[in-house]
Amino acid sequence: MKVLAFSLSLRQGSFNGKLIQLVIESAEKLGVELELIDLSAYELPAYNMDIQNTVGFPKAANDLKDKLETAQGIMLASPEYNFSYPGHFKNTFDWISRYQPMPWANKAVLLLSASPSLVGGNRGLWHLRVPFEACGAFVYPGMFSLASAHDAFTESGALKDEAMAKRLEATVLSYIRFAEALKF
Ligand SMILES: Cc1cc2nc3c(=O)[nH]c(=O)nc-3n(C[C@H](O)[C@H](O)[C@H](O)COP(=O)(O)O)c2cc1C
């Protein structure tokens, strides 16, 4: 099974970037084929139906759509921006949703977040569920949110809190089982 991994933070040193790395390592140990997608390589103009209908889809949208066609699952770590998720991803999501057949449909999706706050960015994930579910993806019910992310990682990028590290591994394991059971 192939899974695409995304961090929705574009910045260097991102806590969500660190979290998705841990998730990738965890899933690879289970024999899953992983590919990290760097969204800064898929920059898209603000969605405009006139562009779609005249110029057509931007190359970055075609390339990302092609990547999605190769995968059964998506693991995504998102910062919380104003209790929601970053706007650039909604724009990307909307462009991709214009292809037929729907590239987001039937994907098994794991949502994760990291934030310096005590809530760990979890409120943003509830917003992320909506477009995925609207487009026919299967969002795994268990979401993982890392609170106090500025103090959560060791120098080498592991989680300092062993219980939290175990919970993350358990979440990845049950998500992978969910994704395999859904395989289309
Ligand atoms: C526009 C903006 C809005 C933010 N809103 C929230 C918020 O609602 N909740 C929160 O916990 N953190 C919020 N933050 C702080 C982010 O959690 C913090 O910058 C975090 O480091 C972003 O994730 P990253 O490290 O993966 O880039 C916001 C940051 C920005 C830039």
Q: What is the pLDDT of residues 28-44, one digit of tens each?
A: 999 999 999 999 999 99
In the predicted model, is pLDDT for residue 1 greater than 70?
yes
Q: Is the CB of 145 under 6 A from ligand 1?
A: no
Pocket test for ligand 1, best of 22, 76, 80, 122 (most atoms within 8 A of CB): 80
Confidence (pLDDT) at 184: 66
Confidence (pLDDT) at 157: 98
Indicate the residue type of 59: K
DSSP letter for 46, please.
P
pLDDT digits (tens, 9 = 90+) for 112-171: 999 999 999 999 999 999 999 999 999 999 999 999 999 999 999 999 999 999 999 999
Query: What fold does the segment set 2-182 form as a domain?
Result: Rossmann fold (3.40.50)
Residue 76's H or E segment, with its range, is strand 73-78
Q: Tell me, in angstroms, the distance from the centre of ligand 1 to residue 115's CA.
A: 6
The model's pTM: 0.97
Q: Is the CB of 82 under 6 A from ligand 1?
A: yes
Using CA atoms, how far apart are residues 176 and 8, in angstroms rounded to an integer?
21
Helical spans, DSSP H, in the chain:
15-29, 49-54, 59-69, 87-96, 122-134, 162-182
